Amino acid sequence: MRIEKKATVASSSVAALLVLLKLTIGILSGSIAVLASAIDSLLDLTVSVFNYFALHNSEKDPDEKFHFGRSKLEPLAAVIEGTIISLSALFILYEAIAKILHAEAMRYMNESIIVMLISIVITGALVAFLNYVANKTNNMVIRADALHYKTDLFSNGAVLIALVAVHYSGIQLIDPILGIAIAIYMIYSAFPIVKEGILMLLDVALSPEEVKKIEKIIEDEEAINTYHYLRTRESGSHIFISVHIVYEDTSISLYDAHLIADNIERKIKKLFEADKKVHILIHMDPYDDYEINDEEEEW
């Protein structure tokens, strides 16, 4: 099993445990902050299970129906996860406002504090593991999951502080106010996840820095006179690059031209992490046909 899939199994297991703990104490105590955290953990569980199946299917080989594979399931999962975070934040915001308008005293304070302490310890360990996997694989789904649970870690800490403050001060308004703050922070954190996922679904090009490195490799090849139609896109863990190269020697043999193109491919692939699947399509031109071809040429 890939380490990314192990990470989603770990996050699903942690989310299930936290849902059970938080939901029980949230209902008993009447705390909006704890209940909001329980709902967020329930959504975490749903998202983590979805991420597991997204990763499982995205790594399947191309077939008759999906000639380029299913790699876009990864950014799709990131968009869905970010959207769910935002929706759960809106629900928390609604519950917090409702409690401000209809204040109720909280109960089971000691139990609530203990549950949130346990949640912080468990979530902290999970975030450390997810960050390790995300840094090692640079997988978008795992990075989104790590960010998701990191927001949970901050919100759990804030909930704990609020519970302690309410317990010792008796000011019930602290609970819903903190709930509003958590909701705003969750929406703020979800935006970059959704943005990056959408850009990848729209076939966003590689960064200018990466494109310049590719251009330098082509330009440094002595047998190449010029090049055109350099196109790049990223889809999950897959990178697609297409380019037309023009040879200096117009009578170069197909064998020699192919060797040069293979050498360029090898150098370009070394620019990226080993876990990235780089697909390069090089069109070999004996002369510069850029002017006579349609500039909107398809891949």
pLDDT (tens digit per residue) in 269-297: 999 877 678 999 999 987 776 666 655 55
Overall average pLDDT of the 117-126 stretch = 88
Helix 109-137, helix 140-169: angle, nearest 10: 160
Q: What is the CA radius of gyration of the chain?
A: 25
Confidence (pLDDT) at 290: 64
pLDDT reading at 266 higher than 90: yes
Answer with the residue of higher pLDDT: 210 or 31: 210
Full-model pTM = 0.62
Answer with the residue of higher pLDDT: 57 or 255: 255
Class of domain 3-201: mainly alpha
pLDDT reading at 148 higher than 60: yes
Q: Work out the percent of the chain whose per-residue pLDDT is above 90.
A: 16
Tell me the average pLDDT of the chain.
Answer: 81
Q: What is the pLDDT of residues 46-79, one digit of tens each?
A: 777 777 777 677 667 777 887 777 777 778 877 8
Confidence (pLDDT) at 269: 92
CATH superfamily of 208-285: Cation efflux protein, cytoplasmic domain (3.30.70.1350)
Q: How confident is the model at residue 298 (pLDDT cuts 50, 70, 90)?
A: very low
Q: How confident is the model at residue 261 (pLDDT cuts 50, 70, 90)?
A: very high
Q: How confident is the model at residue 175 (pLDDT cuts 50, 70, 90)?
A: confident
Overall average pLDDT of the 181-187 stretch = 81
Confidence (pLDDT) at 158: 76
Confidence (pLDDT) at 299: 46
Strand-by-strand arrangement of the 277-285 sheet:
224-235, 238-247, 277-285
Overall average pLDDT of the 111-127 stretch = 85
In 202-298, which residue ranges form alpha helices assigned H by DSSP?
208-219, 254-269
pLDDT reading at 160 higher than 60: yes
**Residues 267/224, Cβ–Cβ less than 8 Å:** no
In the chain, which residue ranges form alpha helices assigned H by DSSP?
3-29, 32-58, 73-101, 109-137, 140-169, 174-201, 208-219, 254-269
**Residues 139/8, Cβ–Cβ less than 8 Å:** no
Q: What is the pLDDT of residues 192-218, one digit of tens each?
A: 878 888 888 888 889 899 999 999 999
Beta bridge mates, 234 = 239
Element (H, E) at 271: none
Domain coordinates of the chain in residue numbers? 3-201, 208-285
Overall average pLDDT of the 124-145 stretch = 81
Name the least confident of 84-88, 196-200, 229-233, 292-296: 292-296
